[in-house]
Amino acid sequence: MTSSGIIAIAAALAIALSTIAPAIAQGLTASKAMDAIARQPEAAGDIRSTLILSLGLMEALTIYGLLIAFMLVSKI
């Protein structure tokens, strides 16, 4: 296998792993937040703002993986 093939596989793995893990985490986080809001509706504002902040940080992980994949593909 050539070095460009290995780089292509590395780019595919980078984007796949950096997309799967945050997607699962975002689903679990949203589920727990909705459960918490259902238990304590008066705390919905605080829970919602914390949820949005944490979802944004998780999405940053996906963007970092995309950036690394672009950097790897540019080396081909």
Rounded to 10°, the helix 44-73/3-39 angle is 180
User: What pLDDT score does 1 carry?
Assistant: 72
Stated pTM of the model: 0.76
Q: What is the DSSP string of 14-65?
A: HHHHHHHHHHHHHHHHHHHHHHHHHH-GGGHHHHHHHHHHHHHHHHHHHHHH
User: What pLDDT score does 2 carry?
Assistant: 82
User: What pLDDT score does 61 carry?
Assistant: 87
User: What pLDDT score does 44 carry?
Assistant: 95
Q: What is the total residue count of the chain?
A: 76
| Domains of the chain by start residue, with CATH | 3-73 (1.20.20.10)
Residues in the chain predicted with pLDDT less than 50, given as ranges, are none
User: What pLDDT score does 20 carry?
Assistant: 92
